[in-house]
């Protein structure tokens, strides 16, 4: 629910006409972990967004992974491909403030900023001022301040959802009902 609700709020705040969701093929920060297969994540995303005309899904990374099996999905590559596919469109990159704190570890992070203007979600208990005060050295506060968007806290954690599913607990209210049924039907997170 948070992965749908928060991006919609940010889209309204920055004046975006659409949000493009792109499931990662192989997230670089999760290379040593078992990842739910991409086709399942894309199917759950489609279910969760079925009543969201402001949202679209791209399987660009999943399709690219079919050709480059073991390579991780890097944001810079995805943004370069999107810029080629959508010439003349202004792209924004939505990320959480946790990712901003490690942004300089991203592959070609400076190029990422030139390909898509970041929009950074700041969630309680953190505030915009706290995030700016904690910016890593090398990131300019004046440059990043306008990119920060405060969003409400949503006490939902994907890790907790996976834990609840594995324990056989109810996840209604945490995920879209169609997604809950899909997880059950396909035996995910067990």
pLDDT in tens, 96-133: 999 999 999 999 999 999 999 999 999 988 999 999 99
142: enclosing H helix or E strand: helix 141-144
* pLDDT tens sequence across 132-151: 999 999 999 999 999 999 99
pLDDT of 33 above 80: no
Q: pTM, whole model, 2 decimals?
A: 0.87
Residue 104 in tokens: 């300089």
Q: What is the distance between the alpha carbons of residues 107 and 109, in angstroms, rounded to a whole number?
A: 6
* pLDDT tens sequence across 154-180: 777 888 898 999 999 989 888 999 999
| Residue 94 half-sphere exposure toward CB, CA atoms < 13 A | 22
Look at 70 and 126; give whichever has higher pLDDT: 126
When pLDDT is averaged across residues 60-88 and rounded to a whole number, the result is 87
pLDDT of 72 above 90: no
Q: What is the distance between the alpha carbons of residues 158 and 30, in angstroms, rounded to a whole number?
A: 14
Spatial CA neighbour of 145 closest among 173, 120, 172: 120
pLDDT of 32 above 80: no
How does DSSP classify residue 149? E
Displacement of CA 10 from its chain's centroid (Å): 12
pLDDT of 30 above 70: no
Q: Are strands 92-96 and 148-150 parallel, antiparallel or unpaired?
A: unpaired
pLDDT of residue 108: 97
| E strand intervals along 28-89 | 55-57
Q: What is the distance between the alpha carbons of residues 21 and 188, in angstroms, rounded to a whole number?
A: 21
pLDDT of 29 above 70: no
Strand partners, 120: 95, 148
Averaged pLDDT of the chain? 91
Report the percentage of the chain scoring pLDDT > 70.
95
Phi, psi of 69 (to 5 degrees): -55, -50
pLDDT of residue 68: 66
């Amino acid at each position: 629910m948070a992965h749908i609700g928060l991006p919609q709020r940010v889209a309204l705040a920055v004046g975006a006409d659409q949000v493009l969701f792109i499931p990662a093929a192989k997230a670089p920060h999760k290379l040593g972990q078992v990842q739910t297969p991409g086709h399942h994540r894309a199917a759950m995303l489609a279910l969760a967004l079925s009543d969201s005309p402001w949202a679209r899904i791209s399987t660009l990374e999943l399709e690219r992974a079919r050709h480059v099996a073991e390579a991780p999905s890097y944001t810079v590559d995805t943004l370069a491909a999107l810029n080629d596919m959508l010439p003349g469109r202004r792209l924004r990159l939505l990320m959480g403030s946790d990712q901003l704190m490690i942004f300089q570890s991203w592959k070609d992070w400076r190029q990422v900023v030139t390909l898509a203007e970041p929009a950074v979600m700041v969630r309680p208990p953190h505030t915009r001022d706290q995030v700016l005060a904690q910016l890593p050295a090398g990131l300019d506060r004046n440059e990043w301040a306008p990119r920060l968007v405060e969003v409400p806290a949503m006490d939902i954690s994907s890790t907790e959802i996976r834990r609840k599913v594995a324990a056989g607990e109810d996840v209604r209210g945490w995920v879209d009902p169609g997604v809950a049924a899909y997880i059950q039907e396909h035996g995910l997170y067990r």
